[in-house]
Amino acid sequence: MDTVWPTQPLDAARLGRPSRRGATAALEAHIAVLRGEPLKAALANALRDADGLGGQERRFAALVVRELSRHQRLLDLAAKLLGHPPGKLVLTEDQALVRYALWRRIFCGEGWTRIGPEVRLPGPVRPRTLKDEVLQKVVESPLPEAPLPDTHAERLAVRYSFPNWLVQKLAQAYPESVLEGLLSSLDEEPGLHFRVRPPGTRDAVLAALQEEGVAAEAVLAAPDAVRVVDASHRIFETRVMKTGRLQVQDVGSQLISEVCRPVGGSLQGLTVADVCAGAGGKTLALADFVGPTGKVLAGDRSRRRLAEARERVRHFSLRQVAFPHPLPLSEADVLLIDAPCSGTGSLAREPDQKWKLNAAEIAKYQTTQSELLDEVSRQAKHGALVVYATCSVLPDEDEAVVEGFLAKHPEFTLEPVADVLGAERAALAAQGPYLKALPPRVPGGGFFAARLRRTGQG
């Protein structure tokens, strides 16, 4: 690694339409993030309050908000080298303006001719102490080469804008070749992936999309996964989408549902308990797998998220899904625990989270995960399959939780996920007995799962 600065500008097709109004919405949202608001909520509020934004401008604003958090460390390093470190900037608005100008310069390859109209006074945010001449100098002054840190892990942390402590943790778990690919993938705007419905109809759906002029392709890692090749988002207007043949779902998330299948069989007619159903993404997939003769029992501690799951189930008219409280776990053939976690595998979608996490938070998650696995497993009937899953790439929340559980529960046996995935997909997405869906080998976010079979009495 000779430089920490990106060598290629972002693909212009993914930008949407840059504009002063779009920049204003993006900056308002980023300022809210800097003041502690979750990125998704800050963006939703900014777009709601923005007047007259077109679809491509909204797309630009949404990308910018994620990018400013995603590359925060690198942008602040550039500001420091140019004489404007964040600590010297008086207002949060000033920090946001400098980051925006540097992002447009470094990651989009733009000069002051394009950037100036987007940030000049008056606006796009007030109050501010920075004059237009200062921002112009930030854009036009030669960018010094950043001094490279001594250790490889810290160089990667700077280049891909991650906290040192997190990269050091990951460096203990993954070889250098895997680590850089993982960090690079989590530092990029994620692609758009879908699950085909019903299962096993991917070729027909791809053909139908082609007829409607949407470029998409199969993803080898999961049997029903497709990726949209173009960046137009026209897929949401297609007949295929409107008739319920596609569900937005990350590839690794689809693989977790696959791991719930019996070896050499299907879930048709079985009962599955989705213990942490959240907004219902895996609930929908499991409902398709069990079919009209099976049952999916969905629950979650968050009423708000479960309400979203109910709405999605109604939208797809899935009568085999129920939301009993409490969940009758002893009736289930399969119990999926998609446990609360740090979300380190989803940082490409929620980049603000990497600046909010710390080692103490990871330890708290591990305690919660272990307690939840203990609690659910006690209610599993003999022969039931418990699938423990996270969207974390940290072994503390993954293998360590499973190994700690097995040490206390000899009545459970660990089953290799390769027995379900098959050799070809296991080569991409398995590590030992576990599902380890890591980008870029598996596109999208990072996911983990383990199959725990109750074979004895506890």
Binding residues for S-adenosyl-L-methionine: 300, 338
Residue 205, CA distances (Å) to 18, 61, 65, 192, 342 in order: 33, 31, 33, 16, 34
- Listed residue (374, 432, 362) closest to 399, CA to CA: 432
Residue 225, beta-bridge partner list: 195
* Residue 316: exposure state from Cβ atoms within 10 A (0-12, 13-18, ≥19): middle
Binding residue numbers: 300, 338
Residue keyed to tokens 């295929």: 240
Distance of CA 315 to the CA centre of its chain: 24
Q: Based on C-alpha coordinates, what's the Rg of the chain?
A: 23
Question: Please, what is the Cα angle at 195 between 424 and 329, to 5 degrees?
Answer: 90
- Listed residue (74, 78, 79, 75) closest to 89, CA to CA: 79
Exactly one of 260, 276, 341, 391 is catalytic; name it.
391
Is 260 annotated as catalytic?
Answer: no
Q: Which residues of 115-146 are buried (b: 16+ CB within 10 A; e: fewer)?
A: beebbeeeebbeebebeeebbbebbeeeeeeb
Residue 71: both structure tokens together: 């590359």
Q: Are 446 and 414 in contact (CB under 8 A)?
A: no
Q: CA 1 to CA 199: how far, in whole Å? A: 43
Q: Which residues contact 147 (CB under 8 A, 6 or more apart)?
A: none
Residue 267: both structure tokens together: 């879930």
Bridge-based pairing of strands 193-196 and 246-248 is antiparallel
Q: Are 31 and 125 in contact (CB under 8 A)?
A: yes
Question: How many CA within 13 A on the CB side of residue 274?
Answer: 28
Give the phi and the psi of residue 216 in degrees, each rounded to 5.
Answer: -145, 160
Residue 346: both structure tokens together: 């989803």
Q: CA 69 to CA 100: how far, in whole Å? A: 11
Residue 283: both structure tokens together: 């609930």
Residue 237 DSSP code: G
Residue 445, beta-bridge partner list: none
Q: CA 277 to CA 282: how far, in whole Å? A: 7
Query: Which residues are part of the catalytic machinery?
Result: 391
